[in-house]
């Protein structure tokens, strides 16, 4: 006898449902009730695996976005044989794809102030948030400076904000104005990395 789908929801099935709804209905439409229904379980069962909708969003973002893993790996990797400009290029490439993929899911937040407030508080409760990418890159650049590969007076935090800010802006232009107004990632990433590197070396 087959076990009914609703009897034992797995975290993976809940993530599948959350990803489907977040990509088709946006974050506003992907309520925990709708996610549970899509997964074939009760809302109470969902909460046995996830603290809130924000945890689901962060997990979808970090585990189901193709460039999230490579981006975080590049941010946290120890300095190796690759030069700083090459590392910055790889980070800019992954960040450009990551923001382009994440923006449609998160965009609805900014249309509803109350939803944005709840989301911000929920993300804070689980110790996550978009600032973590910035902090990771600033930490990576600080390690490069400590190793003597950057100017002694280089500002890792500002350099990280410049590089990631440019990647985020490209994603915004891509979705708002269309692909014809932005450079392809393979041209954009080395250009922005070269510019930031010129200020750091």
Q: What are the pLDDT tens digits along the chain (201 aa)?
A: 333 444 567 899 999 999 999 988 888 888 999 999 999 999 999 999 998 888 999 999 888 888 899 999 999 987 766 899 999 999 999 999 999 999 988 887 888 888 889 889 988 888 888 899 999 999 999 999 999 999 999 999 999 999 999 999 999 999 999 999 999 999 999 999 999 999 999
Q: Which CATH number fits domain 66-200: 1.10.3470, 1.10.357, 3.40.30, 1.20.1510?
A: 1.10.357
- pTM of the predicted protein model: 0.84
Identical fold, 1-64 and 66-200: no
Q: For the stretch 61-92, what's the b/e string if a residue is b when 16 or more beta carbons lie within 10 angstroms of its beta carbon?
A: bbebbebbebbbebbeeeeeeeebbebbbbbb
Residue 201 and residue 198: Cα distance in Å, rounded? 6
Q: Give the CATH H-level superfamily of domain 1-64.
A: Homeodomain-like (1.10.10.60)
Count of CB atoms situated within 10 Å of the CB of 141 = 27
Residue 165 and residue 130: Cα distance in Å, rounded? 12
- Domain positions in the chain: 1-64, 66-200
């Amino acid at each position: 006898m087959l076990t009914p789908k609703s009897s034992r929801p797995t975290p993976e099935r809940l993530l599948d449902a959350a990803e489907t709804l977040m990509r088709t209905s946006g974050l506003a439409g992907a309520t925990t009730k709708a996610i549970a229904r899509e997964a074939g379980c009760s809302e109470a069962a969902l909460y046995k695996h996830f603290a809130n909708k924000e945890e689901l969003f962060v997990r979808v973002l970090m585990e189901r976005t193709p460039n999230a893993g490579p981006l975080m790996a590049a941010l946290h990797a120890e300095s190796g044989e690759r030069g700083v400009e090459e590392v910055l290029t790889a980070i800019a490439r992954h960040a450009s794809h990551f923001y382009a993929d994440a923006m449609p899911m998160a965009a609805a937040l900014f249309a509803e102030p109350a939803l944005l407030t709840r989301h911000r508080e929920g993300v804070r409760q689980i110790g996550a948030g978009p600032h973590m990418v910035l902090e990771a890159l600033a930490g990576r650049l600080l390690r490069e400076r400590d190793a003597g590969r950057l100017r002694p007076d280089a500002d890792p935090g500002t350099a990280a904000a410049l590089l990631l800010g440019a990647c985020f802006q490209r994603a915004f232009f891509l979705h708002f104005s269309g692909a014809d107004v932005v450079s392809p990632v393979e041209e954009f990433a080395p250009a922005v990395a070269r510019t930031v590197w010129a200020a750091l070396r």
